[in-house]
Structure 1
């Protein structure tokens, strides 16, 4: 049963100025939640706030700057949030970069692994004190069908030994999925009520497809339209993961259509072997070492 009344609940959504994050922000705000849009580009963030407020003048929206490709910015955001708020019901790790040319974050991580996984890993760890003390809180982390067939190359995480954009995107999205599962396991192990759920939007027509070098070729845009669903439909798994009351934690939510590319949200079971315990543990250790953020359960 989806919770329709989120009055008094506080939600953070990273990358909420467009696409899936924006649609989720609009929905949660309409349900009464206080929504913090954690965005890198404040101009685009302001425009997103205005668009949400047009639909919902009573909405409680706050804009806060967050650059997931800069751990200093992640720490600053967490510090500001912890000073201002005394509860956190929902953390939605949504922001992502997809198939850019080879690049590095401020801290020298490969851009996709650094932004999509390590930035969110650090953010979650820094906000953990508040998540733990907020009853029935949850963390929702966005993965992708690109996790299928992907693997974590621990010997080349920074891409210096060779880089293929799509391969590294798949690696970052597999990392998101494994992090979400491992996080839930650790919550349960320590008797913490917070749950962690993963989700993915299938193939959604968002501006992720229009990033990178130059414009997406016209024929690709046509294909994307044909195979994909609009962002508001792509946001449904996120909203379900965030508000479905029957979820116990550890689930993976995606569209129920063929190949999980589009459709309505449903619990999806990843391929056998995806949740490799050794890989999950190693990823966690490496992530703590790289970000210097240690989770204090």
Structure 2
């Protein structure tokens, strides 16, 4: 990327609206990093959570198109089966399997991970895509706030339990986060959001910030296993999650929203292209690594980062 295009790319990113919408996708796609090889994932195995709709479904389609056997992890098997059949009609040679797992439920995560490990000796790609944006605070049956459980605790546990399979394949882990995390900080004093007025959008941004930090922490811990870890935000895409949870935003920005396939592009690129295999722990958007804070003097407090990791270990019981 030349100096002029780097400046343009950075301006788009800092301006937010043009960078996060389909405008940014259209402009950057003219000069971004090369596509993965057409058979980049032939013979490889991928797990995608929240795979029956939106970004998860789009990711599944393109991973399968590149040759991967994709395990579509969903809460509702019937919806998963319908999505698989629809994708198979589009891609008759796709290798797709539906797996049931509620990522917000730690017992469900353990059940899925155990069954997967018994059947498969290795895992090349793990995509943490499942998301939640409830309008009111609620807790899982295990007593965890839903967005924390869905975005943080479940993915943390699943990564740890599938670590041996990922290590065998020298695989990649991808956290699908959000640009909304720029507006949040770590809240080690109240990770379960029990204090103050609960706002779904704020809970979403807080847990997305946590995902970015956990990706950095996992990258450090998994480097000796040959596993690379990345986080990425898709920009603003027209998905059922946006339509259902943020109808006002969808109404205002509708004509500028990216398609699910455009939103999933960097997820698939991180899973299949050569360049991401040479680094770990980065935060990406439109095939380029991005800063995790807009202002250079901002940072996550080291104690808050430690507290986040300790919280995940304590709540999941994962033995590291």
TM superposition score normalised by structure 1: 0.89
Task: Find the partner of 2:185 among 130, 151, 162.
Answer: 151
Matched, 1:197 2:230: yes
Matched, 1:34 2:65: no
Counterpart in the other structure of 2:284: 253
Whole-angstrom distance in 2 between the partners of 1:36 and 1:28: 10
Counterpart in the other structure of 1:25: 60
Counterpart in the other structure of 1:244: 273
Matched, 1:110 2:145: yes
8 Å contact kept, 1:102–1:165: yes
Task: Find the partner of 2:252 among 198, 210, 223.
Answer: 223
TM superposition score normalised by structure 2: 0.83
RMSD, aligned CA: 1.6
Structure 1 position 99, deviation (Å)? 4.2
Whole-angstrom distance in 2 between the partners of 1:41 and 1:15: 10
Bigger helix share: 2
8 Å contact kept, 1:198–1:252: yes
Secondary structure of the residue aligned to 2:109 is helix
Counterpart in the other structure of 1:259: none
Higher mean displacement: 146-155 or 64-73:
146-155
Distance 1:200 1:274, change over 3 A: farther
CA deviation vs aligned residue, 1:269-292 (integer Å, no higher than 9, x gap): 222434554333221111000111
Secondary structure of the residue aligned to 1:147 is helix
8 Å contact kept, 1:105–1:115: no
Whole-angstrom distance in 2 between the partners of 1:277 and 1:239: 31
Aligned pair count?
A: 279
Structure 1 position 222, deviation (Å)? 2.2
Structure 2 unaligned segments of length 5 or more: list them.
Answer: 1-33
8 Å contact kept, 1:69–1:106: no
Counterpart in the other structure of 1:258: none
Whole-angstrom distance in 1 between the partners of 2:133 and 2:252: 17
Counterpart in the other structure of 1:76: 111
Counterpart in the other structure of 2:19: none
Secondary structure of the residue aligned to 1:62 is strand
Higher mean displacement: 10-19 or 201-210:
201-210
Whole-angstrom distance in 1 between the partners of 2:144 and 2:244: 19
Structure 1 position 161, deviation (Å)? 1.8
Secondary structure of the residue aligned to 2:42 is coil
Structure 1 position 250, deviation (Å)? 1.5
Whole-angstrom distance in 2 between the partners of 1:49 and 1:151: 37
Structure 1 unaligned segments of length 5 or more: list them.
Answer: 256-264
